[in-house]
Amino acid sequence: MKINSQLNSILFTLESGDSPVSLNSELYKSNYLNSNIIIDLSDVVFNGFLNLLKAFSEKHNHKSFVIVSENIDYDKDDLNIIPTIQEAFDYIEMEEIERDLNSL
């Protein structure tokens, strides 16, 4: 798993050997709970991570939480699933603008 801070977000890039357990322990670190999160699942099987991602998205409600994968039904379980990393950054930018406007 690679973890990078880019723009206003934390990007988790999962690799084929990564497990839901390793992602879970990384996601719940306190320094990530108040950040926009992008999880790139392009190189892993999504279904193994589904329950973990649904649970985390419910707890991560003050910032954006986006999953990147081209191989998933985009309406799956009310998760924000985006096909590319660039679109994920654009999605987060739009959500931040919306949150800023709603706070006025």
Task: Specify whether the CB–CB gap between 1 and 18 falls below 8 A.
Answer: yes
Which structural domain range is residue 39 located in?
A: 2-102
Confidence band of 91 (pLDDT split at 50, 70, 90) = very high
Confidence class for position 34, pLDDT limits 50, 70, 90: confident
The rounded distance, in Å, linking the Cα atoms of 88 and 6 is 12
Which range, 19-23, 25-29, 44-48, is most confident?
19-23
* 77: alpha, beta or left? (left if phi > 0; alpha if psi -120 to 50): left
pTM for this model (two decimals): 0.88
The arithmetic mean of pLDDT across residues 25-49, rounded, is: 84
Quick: pLDDT tens for 43-86: 887 778 888 888 888 877 778 999 998 876 656 667 888 999 99
Count of the separate structural domains present in the chain: 1
Query: 60 — alpha (psi -120 to 50), left (phi > 0) or beta?
Result: beta
